[in-house]
Structure 1
């Protein structure tokens, strides 16, 4: 059931990843009440300086720590519309493609401003931060966050621009064994690091595969999220048959950094880049922000 929930979330992520990103055409009077309908929306709102105005969040909104103390009004099954209407927010930060489309439509029909806060790529994270800053009485916080994110992203791009492509396999789940194609999130993180996805040519975003296909494609590195109950030791039986196993390159990554499209996505990128290219010196502490959280 946990894998099914994860896969449904990631599939909806992919639907949005391939669609247009919606930004506000013009900001109304500064909102006093905000609800967020995804963990990444919550994190982005806090990063843009809107944390004090959030009165409702989705389940699993756990960063920053203050988000743990805000009322839950949505989860992977849907939005508590009655509660949202009772809270009467000035702004709703949605996950187009992840939140139920009919419920978002209903909120718009009721006259609520609904803003999509899921990006199409890494660069769009800065766009979202700048957009959200226009709703804050202190827009400089969101603007500075966007500027810092862009600088960090550009530093990573420059550092690994000439790196050789390294073949990797991303293990999304073990039962069944699943991965992602080139277009699916968190693909942009690996692409930034010159990672070559051995299943990039899959016709579906999150295909179910078998071990024979992995053995045939011979990945140099195997990545997996840290909190999806994947047993990394399962790969040891393939010693002598997979370069990733022979060279001890089975890597677990922080799931929150990897799966949520927020400024912390670049911390996942730093780790991915280090693992794919251990011969390249990573960014210095001056080039990479240190307040990473968990």
Structure 2
């Protein structure tokens, strides 16, 4: 009788294991993605995805990254597959990935269709605001069969966001201007991560009512808006942007200039939808409400 039970159960165990290791997911642009087992050879097509995978402890499964993936430093040692807008399909295929994780930019349809024709599953991330970044992390955890590390990251981020909101709650919301470029003057409007961070950090984005995600401003418009806080973004960590900060000193009637409230933040922390975005939120909130973060 025991031998008969074993004979019957062993095939069932293999079947159930096969079912558990194969799964179908819906990515963040609504596509169906079929993954046959926990991915062991992952290619990341974007810096934020690479950061997420490293934060989840999946760096050993990561076989290729984009040329822009520079954080954490160990990402520099990974094989490069080109930029995130125009990655090299040849390099990706040569790495024999069992999962490619990309973003909703560039010629997405052509990229996905070509890999699909080679039976390479492609998961597309598409967080549209700062809080959706956490949802995206959880979904990447699911498609990589590593949900618990993703949940730990999200719980930590949620707690840090709550702490910031508790500190700025009930305080005045000063006018905040974020400048992306000087020639011409370009800011970040509604629908950008920076707009969300300014709002969550207790400020009011000067560009929130402007047309487009990245509106241009004349100096006359900025003088009229009179920002109380100006946020600059450095592409190089630790760069004080001395020249740009000095440029603002000619406009001494602007409240932020008069009060010495021009701050330089790390661009990667406020523009990149990764786990470090919560660190960017803390920096933004501290710049807007220094009194709340002694």
Q: TM-score, normalised by structure 1?
A: 0.81
Show the counterpart of 2:177.
169
The alpha carbon displacement at 1:259 in A equals: 1.3
Quick check: 1:238 aligned with 2:251? yes
Cα offsets for 1:111-149 (capped at 9, x unmatched):
322112331222222222222223556543222112211
Unaligned stretches of 5+ in structure 1? 1-19, 283-294
Provide the secondary structure at the position in 1 that maps to 2:292: coil
Provide the secondary structure at the position in 1 that maps to 2:123: strand
The alpha carbon displacement at 1:35 in A equals: 0.5
For the residues of structure 2 that align with 1:256 and 1:52, how far apart are their CA atoms? Answer: 24
Provide the secondary structure at the position in 2 that maps to 1:237: coil
For the residues of structure 2 that align with 1:71 and 1:194, how far apart are their CA atoms? Answer: 41
For the residues of structure 2 that align with 1:38 and 1:209, how far apart are their CA atoms? Answer: 30
Show the counterpart of 1:187.
195
Q: Larger strand proportion, structure 1 or 2?
A: 2
The alpha carbon displacement at 1:67 in A equals: 0.5
The alpha carbon displacement at 1:105 in A equals: 3.3
Alignment of structure 1 residues 11-26 onto 2, 5 Å? none
- Contact 2:269 / 2:280 at 8 angstroms: preserved in 1? yes
Paired residue for 1:257, among 264, 269, 289? Answer: 269
- Contact 2:35 / 2:121 at 8 angstroms: preserved in 1? no
Provide the secondary structure at the position in 1 that maps to 2:69: coil
Unaligned stretches of 5+ in structure 2? 1-27
Quick check: 1:37 aligned with 2:45? yes
Structure 1 residues 190 and 109: alpha-carbon distance in aligned structure 2, compared to 1, 3 A threshold? farther
- Contact 1:37 / 1:92 at 8 angstroms: preserved in 2? yes
Specify the structure having the higher radius of gyration (Cα): 2
For the residues of structure 2 that align with 1:99 and 1:47, how far apart are their CA atoms? Answer: 28
The alpha carbon displacement at 1:202 in A equals: 1.5
- Contact 2:165 / 2:202 at 8 angstroms: preserved in 1? no
The alpha carbon displacement at 1:150 in A equals: 1.7
Structure 1 residues 156 and 23: alpha-carbon distance in aligned structure 2, compared to 1, 3 A threshold? farther
For the residues of structure 1 that align with 2:203 and 2:113, how far apart are their CA atoms? Answer: 38
Q: TM-score, normalised by structure 2?
A: 0.81
- How many residue pairs were aligned? 262
For the residues of structure 1 that align with 2:206 and 2:289, how far apart are their CA atoms? Answer: 17
For the residues of structure 2 that align with 1:128 and 1:249, how far apart are their CA atoms? Answer: 34
The alpha carbon displacement at 1:271 in A equals: 1.1
**Root-mean-square deviation (CA), in Å?**
2.3
